[in-house]
Amino acid sequence: MRNKNPLTAAIVLLAALAATGCDRQPTADAAERLEIEMATARTDSLYVRRSFISEIGSDSEVVIEPRVSGFLAARHYRKGMPVRKGQLLFEIDNREYYSALLSAQAALESSKALALEAKNNYDRAVPLAGINAISAAQLDQYTARYAAARADVKAAEQAVRNAGLNLSYTKIYSPIDGIIESSNAGTGDLVGPGTQIPTLTTIMNIDTVTVSIAIPMAQFLALDGDREMIYDNAGLLSDIVLYEDDGTRYQLAGKYDYTRTAVSTATGTIVLIVRFPNPAYRLKAGQFARIEANLGAKRPRVLVPQQSVSQILDASSVWVIRADSTAEYRRITPGETFGGMWAVESGLRPGERVAVTGIQKLREGMRVIPSDASKN
């Protein structure tokens, strides 16, 4: 029997539509939830690693200056080439100095002869004075002449030594191992003290090179946990590595040498000197290099993947995934990077979860479907 009541039919139709709508609502909510990968902020003890740009310097540098003046007779090296300690470098015309040595030796022989005569006179005078054959005043004269003659011999001996030294100074030897520079003096030029060429050349010892590392004082004093290192800077730097201009890593490690006593007033930095062995002379003085080193002791760091951190101008942030799977926007203070991880100085606690993917689509309070990025 067909129901002819229109009101009853309308109620039945509305009930059916309402039931259909209730069945579809959960499916629509589920479609709005974003699937993301997340990572858990963890703590690890790591060094602070810093990078410095610095100029390579010579370990030591010696200026070659003649001790005597004269005409340059010969040069025994190739400019820009390595020289060894004790290697003959220059010769100054020695004829004048050789003549002076011969003259001094002759004067010494004359002084010795006079001293011998004075000694003989003194030896004869002593017994005569004992028998009053000569006066005491005469004995005093013989004694004084003998003493003066002996003093003249000593002075003549010293003159011979000085002349010999001056003669030896006409040959100039390298005092160190190193690289020798070119010289402005040519064969035949008058060189040495009191001339227009008082300096011949410079030798740089680059068997070991030095590099200056400038650390801002604020950063230096911020090492609160490393107070012992501040007073004994030998432990302040570790794992010291040098990279050349082309990015090549130098094979030999650096070592802390000393700290300059004065703080730079221009830059407000304290300067630490590092040494690198350079047996093959690969590194050159004046060359610029990048130095990387660990600064201070290991410290605990809160780490998150780099891709979880967003940076816009000076603002850094992460999306924290709460326990109820909702997203929270969080400003953070980032520190150094360690491989693929970023240290967070403030704004995030260990154990909190951060979004790794989909961060451009997240909104405050949005409910998400998280998964562990480390398992994917």
State pLDDT tens for residues 91-108.
Answer: 999 999 999 999 999 999
Using alpha carbons, select from 208, 306, 219 the residue that is nearest to residue 254: 208
CA distances to 47, 78, 243, 301 from 338, rounded to whole Å, are 9, 48, 18, 10
Angle at 338 between CA 333 and CA 342, to 5 degrees: 30
State pLDDT tens for residues 191-202.
Answer: 999 999 999 999
Q: Where are the beta strands (DSSP E) in 84-229?
A: 88-92, 171-173, 178-180, 190-191, 201-216
Average pLDDT (78-92) is 92
Angle at 174 between CA 172 and CA 177, to 5 degrees: 175
DSSP, collapsed to helix, strand or coil, labels residue 273 as strand
- Joined together, the tokens standing for residue 335 give 């520190």
User: Rounded to whole angstroms, how far apart are CA atoms 157 and 6?
Assistant: 147
Is residue 223 very low, low, confident or very high in pLDDT (cuts 50, 70, 90)?
Answer: low
As a dihedral over the C-alpha atoms of residue 288, residue 289, residue 295, residue 299, rounded to 10 degrees, the angle is: 140
The residue with tokens 């951060």 is 354
Using alpha carbons, select from 369, 262, 264, 259 the residue that is nearest to residue 324: 369
Rounded to the nearest integer, the mean pLDDT of the chain is 86
pLDDT at 32 over 70: no
State pLDDT tens for residues 130-162.
Answer: 999 999 999 999 999 999 999 999 999 999 999
- Joined together, the tokens standing for residue 321 give 């995934």
pLDDT at 261 over 50: yes
| pLDDT > 70 in the chain, percent | 87
- Report residue 22 CA to chain centroid gap: 74
CA distances to 156, 159, 167, 260 from 153, rounded to whole Å, are 5, 10, 21, 52
Residue 338 vs residue 305, higher pLDDT? 305
Q: Which pLDDT score, from 0 to 100, does residue 376 have?
A: 57
Longest dimension (CA), the chain: 186
Q: Which pLDDT score, from 0 to 100, does residue 115 have?
A: 96
Using alpha carbons, select from 306, 197, 220, 205 the residue that is nearest to residue 48: 220
Residue 246 vs residue 88, higher pLDDT? 88
State pLDDT tens for residues 3-13.
Answer: 445 545 444 44
Number of Cβ atoms within 10 Å of the Cβ of 180? 22
Contact 93, 70 (CB under 8 A): yes
For residue 235, the 8-state DSSP code is: G
Using alpha carbons, select from 330, 336, 252 the residue that is nearest to residue 291: 252
Is residue 15 very low, low, confident or very high in pLDDT (cuts 50, 70, 90)?
Answer: very low
Q: Which pLDDT score, from 0 to 100, does residue 10 have?
A: 46
Q: Are strands 178-180 and 237-243 parallel, antiparallel or unpaired?
A: unpaired
Q: Which pLDDT score, from 0 to 100, does residue 234 have?
A: 72
Using alpha carbons, select from 146, 82, 140 the residue that is nearest to residue 120: 146
Is residue 26 very low, low, confident or very high in pLDDT (cuts 50, 70, 90)?
Answer: very low
pTM of the complete model: 0.63
